[in-house]
Amino acid sequence: MESPRLMALSPGTCEIVESVEEPDSVQCSRGGNPSSSGLIINEKAGNKPMLNSRCNYSVEDDLNRIFEAIDLRASSKGLGLSLQKGTGPSHRNALKKPVRVGVTRASGIGISEPVSLKQALRGLCLSQKAELAAMKRLTNPASVTSEAGTIKKLYRAVVVEACESGFPLDEGKGSLVEISLVPEKSALHSSEKVTELLQKLRTKALDKTAHGSPRSVVATTAKVTVSQILAQDETVPEPMEVGDRTSKKEMDQKEKVKTIPSLSSSSTGNKVSALDEILPVSKKVGSKLSTPELRQKDKQKPDSSLSSSSAGSKISNSNSTSPRLVIKPVFRNRNFVRKKGKQVTAASSSTSGTCNEFDSDMGPSTGKLVCRTQNSAQKNASKESASPVSSSTSVSIEVSSGNMDFSAKKPGLSSNSRNRNRIVGAEDNENSRSRGKGEFSQSSKSSIGEYSSSTSISDESNLSGSSCVGNRPHMSKDIRWEAIRHVQMQYGSLGLRHFKLHKRLGCGDIGTVYLAELIGTNCLFALKVMDNEFLESRKKMPRAQTEREILQMLDHPFLPTLYSHFTTDKLSCLVMEYCPGGDLHVLRQRQPTRTFSEPAARFYVAEVLLALEYLHMLGVIYRDLKPENILVREDGHIMLSDFDLSLRCAVNPTLLTSSSSIMEPTKNFSGPCAESPCIDPFCLQPSWAQVSCFSPRLISATAKTRKLKSDLAAQVSPLPQLVAEPTTARSNSFVGTHEYLAPEIIKGEGHGSAVDWWTFGIFLYELIFGKTPFKGLGNEETLANVVIQSLKFPESPMVSFQAKDLIRGLLVKDPENRLGSERGAAEIKQHPFFEGLNWALIRCAIPPELPKFCDLGVPFMLSQESKRLEFKSTGGHLEFELF
Ligand SMILES: Nc1ncnc2c1ncn2[C@@H]1O[C@H](COP(=O)(O)OP(=O)(O)OP(=O)(O)O)[C@@H](O)[C@H]1O
């Protein structure tokens, strides 16, 4: 039977397919119609979801019950839960065996004792921040109601099925208990052009692979551009794909209807920030504005409506003949995901929504051109003068209808081109989309953003309140909160007029960032100014909204704090934490060798990893990792910035339990023994060990003993594993930066959080080797290389085996076999490259030394004598000028 929700989807808006799979938490928190709740479990069994009462369930209680149930069954047999390989539908689950966590996991949680979620998280070695994030999410009333309800049902399902089947959990052929608390969400969105391109590319790659060794493939493809491939392919008939695809599509459609009956229609709600609610509406301001403090009146506008969606949740029990209990989400079948992705890709290609933006992005905008020119000038200026604020500096913003014209004037500046693979949206128009980086970046890899509003899954319940003030525990003592509050209280609202702009820090795809001082407070902020009309006309409003929504959620030492945001009739502004150290791209170039030492790289990637882990736990797939987006704080620690290309999706906390299986998956370790039993005579590692054979030879004897002990401990006492990252979320958006794009994005196969681990691998590679691994002569070649070319390491600098092994594990082209794809950041943290790193205390670690000429000369608190900017009205344009 066709789901009414599925029918409600608008044709081609594949993202809605994703957005409708919102957990029922949304329903609960919004008092939504219970019938539209996505939960379908037990309904057929007559167990009506207790929609009212379930809001009171405690996650911990439910988890405890699960653990108790597991414990009972396990202990009654005197065995731990055992994972046995099965066949059929649940076979895949056998492959999803968690790699056991080391010693630390043995404490805190155990199967023999019921444990709380908090304990479980602790035991899983999650960093405190990550733990807080997960706890916060789970203690969020909306999440609790959803997840507690779901867990309860899962619990029932486990117990009922176990009882009915008569098989205890540890008996029979398989006892993997895999519990997904919420369904995966797929943001299906595609670029027809790129999909088509890569379809051909892939066909070509396969042909090549079939006809030669990988090495010869590499050698050949290095010279073949995508256009050449396409040109050749035009003469070659497509191999029966069309018919197949149609029938596949139909089958997929049926499958989708059959397996996802709970797809719900998306709902849209207007979101008015708490700040906006609190603040009175100022007088509407005209196009002419004069001095910032006196004449600028910001009209506080309610935030644009955010597309919200509710989602269905489905938990299907495997009807395997074996006594396995597998409770897994619909999209666990990744083949299905792929099919679905393709199907939606095909469907969306008939609509213009996505492509419109893609196309519109191709055209150069006046604003962007001006911005680029000026940026070049400014970049040069930063070379010539280390002084961040010079008296001769002039920064102006011009806002004209439809276009945003940013300009920064510095006398005597020459252009300094630093285009590195710059395109956004179209390969043939790369120069039109240059992204200025202000003084910080001297080179930039522009982000590709084929994006539609539906990709952004707005979920108000996920936002920790729209007020940005005072709800960031880790920054609660920050005087900047007080400063903002003070101004708000004094003037009733916060607006542009309360800031003086000192200089432009850089401009991106959707706005320009200024170093701004809150007048009268001496506090500095990074003020991101976006032109509403420009955003609307370029269909970039969803990106701006996504960024703001994500920023509002963040509370992490390696992520920016959003202090406030306000909207006038012309501009949208984000008041963010200012990061004075520049970005890692520039910092790398300022290293004597233009590369970071391995310890320095390890430090930076470790902090980035924690930030990504936190984001994933919040249901954010970052998608745009690159050195340019890693800003350096005053204290040398990092801050991941720029979230407009991020994907919001449901977190899919998964409890993976396996036990006696001592054959831990080694596929994620790409050492010589990763794929098959080790035949290396020097390999001392037992065949069941989870590390590749290089470990015994490279790690210390103590570390080796510790490892073996922990492995043995894990063997005796296997523990359930909580994976709280969106490992199965899916999107088909074509977003990212060429050199950093994951193969699955390029191929348009649908991607999930594993793209962040791919970019993480490229990122580490670039920090260490000073270049990205697949860069071609042009963007097309780069894309082709990403998909086809095998990974190679330069001979210099000399890099440890661990570093290379980590990169190899991350840069696995198949996302399913990529390190991190199964258990997220936890998997990566355990890699020997990070051996000895104290994750919890990394904030207190001493960061790599910053070059003296870093932009740290800008005082955190400006002196009263500092230069200031004022608004100036010039014929309909809004200008800020330094005088
Ligand atoms: N909080 C901050 N502190 C200091 N500089 C910042 C801050 N945020 C942004 N910048 C600078 O401003 C520039 C523009 O940032 P922004 O996030 O708008 O765009 P972007 O990173 O260039 O990319 P995109 O076009 O994808 O948005 C950045 O390159 C960075 O150098």
pLDDT tens digit sequence for 486-540? 998 989 999 999 999 999 999 888 999 999 999 999 999 999 999 999 999 999 9
Residue range 778-788, pLDDT digits in tens: 999 999 999 99
Q: Tell me the CB-side half-sphere exposure of residue 110, using CA atoms within 13 A.
A: 14
Report, as ranges of residue numbers, the positions in the chain whose pLDDT lies below 50: 1-57, 72-127, 134, 138-152, 154-195, 197-198, 202, 205-444, 450-469, 659-703, 706, 713, 716-717, 855-883
Does residue 439 line the site of ligand 1, with CB under 6 A? no
Q: Give me the residue spans of the domains in the chain.
A: 485-578, 579-657+720-855
pLDDT at 695: 30
Residue 295: predicted pLDDT: 33
Domain 485-578, architecture per CATH: 2-Layer Sandwich (3.30)
* DSSP H stretches of helix in 312-365: 334-349, 353-360
Q: Helix, strand, or coil here: 623?
A: coil
Q: How many CB atoms lie within 10 A of CB 771?
A: 14
Burial of residue 269 (CB within 10 Å: 0-12, 13-18, 19+) is: middle
User: How far is CA 664 from each of CA 49, 112, 668, 675, rounded to the nearest angstrom?
Assistant: 37, 22, 10, 12
At residue 651, the pLDDT reads 79
pLDDT recorded at residue 447: 67
Cα–ligand 1 centroid distance for 512 (angstroms)? 7
Cite the DSSP H helix spans in 46-140. Answer: 59-76, 91-95, 103-106, 117-123, 128-139
Q: Can you give the pLDDT at residue 727? A: 67
What pLDDT score does 603 carry? 97
Rounded distance from Cα 437 to ligand 1 centre (Å): 7
| Burial (CB count <10 Å: 0-12, 13-18, 19+), residue 14 | buried
Yes or no: domain 579-657+720-855 corresponds to CATH 1.10.1740.10: no
Task: State the pLDDT at residue 649.
Answer: 84
CA torsion, points 132, 137, 138, 139, in degrees to nearest 10?
Answer: 80
Supply the pLDDT for residue 254: 40
Q: Which atom of ligand 1 is nearest to the CA of 578?
A: 3
Atom 27 of ligand 1, residue of closest alpha carbon = 508
Query: CB of 505 closer than 6 A to ligand 1?
Result: yes
What pLDDT is stored for residue 135 in this prediction? 52
| Nearest CA-CA partner of 724 in 621, 653, 824 | 653
Q: Which two tokens stand for residue 676?
A: 């098959």
Determine the pLDDT at residue 780: 93
Distance 106 CA to ligand 1 centre (A): 42
Contact 372 CB / ligand 1 (< 6 Å): no
Beta carbons within 10 angstroms of residue 731's beta carbon:
30
448: Cβ below 6 Å to ligand 1?
A: no
* 440 Cβ inside 6 Å of ligand 1: yes
Residue 255: in which H helix or E strand, if any? helix 241-259
> Which of 513, 634, 637, 644 should be mutated for ligand 1, with most atoms under 8 A from CB?
513
Distance, C-alpha 682 to centroid of its chain: 40
Does residue 735's CB lie within 6 angstroms of at least one atom of ligand 1?
Answer: no
CA 311 to centroid of ligand 1, rounded, Å: 33
* Nearest residue (CA) to ligand 1, atom 30: 506
Cβ of residue 182 lying under 6 Å from some atom of ligand 1: no
